[in-house]
Amino acid sequence: MKREKRLIFRQLLSVLCLSMIVFAAHSQETQEEPSFKAYGVDEAGKYIVRNNPDRGAIADGAAYVLVHYYIEPGEQYTLSVKGNSSASSVSMLAAWYTSEDLSKETYLSPAVYNGGTNPMATKYSDGTHELTAPANAVVLGVTRMKDATVILYHDDKIVHILQPGMEIHDPADYLSGTLPVMYITTEDSVPITSKEYYLDGTYYFDNMGHEDVESIGSEDNQLALQIKGRGNASWRFEDKKPYRIKLDKKQGLMGLKKNKHFCLMAHAEDANAYQRDEIGFTLSSLMELEWTPQQRPIELVVNGDYVGIYWVAEKIRVEKDRVNVVEQKDNETDPEKITGGWLIEIDNYAEDGQVIIPDGNGTRIRFTMHTPEVLSPEQREYITNYLTTTNEMIYVEDKNDTRWEDYIDIDELAKFYVLMEAVDNCESFSGSCYWHKELGSDTKLVVGPVWDFGSVASHWRADSFNYFIYQETQDYVTSHWIEEIAKFPRFQQKARAIWRQIYPSLLEEVHQHCLEYVDYITPAIKSDYKRWNNAKSSSIAYRKVRVWQMLASKWAFLAREWKEDIPTAISDINADVESSVIAVRYFDLAGREIKSVDDYRGILIKQSITSDGKIVSSKIIK
């Protein structure tokens, strides 16, 4: 009896399943298709990519591509536009379409609307743009330059990405074999084009036989991470991009302390054999600043593409082993808890949520908030008042007044300042200048940690380094506070005492370390230069020494200003290469560089730079 019931049940189930299949098939046959679908969509029904018929096929070298994204009416979207070349920015047009619009054959580009100008078309340039779809819109149309990447996000997820074909540089043809290698693969091999949105991915780490470094994972056993872009000018203007990564689990990459958060620094703008940051971080460690982020050189492969030599760096953040202050919550309101901890940055770029105060020198200081990031009105009022009062104490007329020391740790500031003078970093008080403050009504602002050494040996004016870092800076650099603080006698005494501690022995130790460091990474530098078609590969020996010639000049200036003898060991830094003129630059009498001298009439300063680091200047009349 039970057996017969089971047979009957199976027969009924078979009939039911067959009925459902027939019903589904009938529904698909009778379901009305949207009128605009005749224009074509992909199999997923999410987007369509069309060549603009006025421009020709993409494969034939078209300058523009028309893309249609099917969207949710009334929803929020983010459009990321990124030119794939640092040579120029990218502009594009985007417009919303209703189903009625798409029934017309006139939408060859978002700028066109039924033969006229589309009232819902907007021009966008490089960057990230927040969009809200109109309630009646069903499609977002985008005309973009061929040499650009466009990504559409919805609910922090990628809807679609469009990019030109990418040349893959096979790691087998580029890896130097001398440094550990990190392999990163994003989900679906989506390129990393945004600083705002993380991409999911996997990674593994091959120590390449370096026994002091641990391999992590393997090609067959990769670990989870997230990755996105980072930086400002380095992200916008360099083809070799820096990244920020968040590991799924804490790891001690390259022997660094275990953590989830690291940066992959490209240092693409470093023309001194990748020494600038190594000089700054090494000297900071030797001077025993409160905490110095560590960096280690690796070679990096992203989505199967060799992208060169990079540096795994500890990200600046509030943690016990990094910036060791209490982690203050976002939107805190408790009067005692809003006193700390704080991690803030003097920033030379405008960012949302900044605290901006007037500097006593007539400029404005932008402070970016890192911890906490989102401020309650109470937090914003507290930190604004603290920074404003600090500024007022710095700009008092009586420089024997010591009240500013109630707000800033003078000892750590003196060390930080002398370090930046020693490496001639004129941007050190302009941007990427971090400060932190512990919890408590009686705690002070402490400068640090150090970070950006992209302007080491930055006072290359003709043949002179006879400046302090706040004097004669680049036009885009505005030093905050330090020029005024340098006028306080007590600060000067502390700074000179620290200079005597590091000069010359500590500086010579950094010098010797960096020369050995460049020898170690030179094979990887050559691979990197090959990857990026960098002409500097033929002059690594010169570039290895050039920065030290410049710094020796700066040290001689500081020794004279701070009344110290100039030791021969520092003055006699020479390149072990044959001397020859490798570059010539021209300046007018105001110190402005003249790029083209053929049509120039007047007196010029000709600056010849030799391979042994010497700079010879002479006047010429055109």
pLDDT tens digits, one per residue of 557-577: 999 899 765 554 444 454 444
Give the pLDDT confidence of 469-507 residue by residue, as tens digits.
998 666 778 899 999 999 999 999 999 999 999 998 999
Decide if 560 is inside a domain. Answer: no
Looking at the fold, whether 131 and 265 belong to one and the same domain comes out as no
Res. 307 pLDDT band, cuts 50 70 90: very high
Looking at the fold, whether 597 and 464 belong to one and the same domain comes out as no
187 Cβ contact partners less than 8 Å away, ≥ 6 residues apart: 199, 200, 201
Q: CATH number, domain at 87?
A: 2.60.120
Please name which of 182, 279, 285 lies closest in space to residue 510, comparing C-alpha atoms.
Answer: 279
Looking at the fold, whether 92 and 187 belong to one and the same domain comes out as no
Looking at the fold, whether 123 and 188 belong to one and the same domain comes out as no
Looking at the fold, whether 179 and 308 belong to one and the same domain comes out as yes
For residue 431, the enclosing domain spans 337-502
Number of domain units in the chain: 4
User: What pLDDT is recorded for position 189?
Assistant: 82
Decide if 9 is inside a domain. Answer: no
Give the pLDDT confidence of 229-280 residue by residue, as tens digits.
999 889 888 889 999 999 999 999 999 999 999 999 999 989 889 999 999 9
User: What pLDDT is recorded for position 389?
Assistant: 98
Looking at the fold, whether 302 and 183 belong to one and the same domain comes out as yes
**Is-contact 418 499, C-beta < 8 A?**
yes
344: left (phi over 0), alpha (psi -120 to 50) or beta: beta
Domain end, chosen from 485, 502, 519, is at 502
Rounded to whole angstroms, the Cα distance separating 190 from 240 reads 17
Rounded to whole angstroms, the Cα distance separating 78 from 159 reads 10
3 state DSSP class of 96: strand
pLDDT over 60 at 511, yes or no: yes
Rounded to whole angstroms, the Cα distance separating 340 from 294 reads 25
* CB-count exposure of residue 416 (10 Å: 0-12, 13-18, 19+): buried
Decide if 6 is inside a domain. Answer: no
Alpha-carbon distances of 129 from 80, 92, 132, 183, 576, rounded to whole Å: 6, 12, 10, 31, 52
Specify the higher pLDDT residue, 605 or 330. 330
Looking at the fold, whether 296 and 350 belong to one and the same domain comes out as no
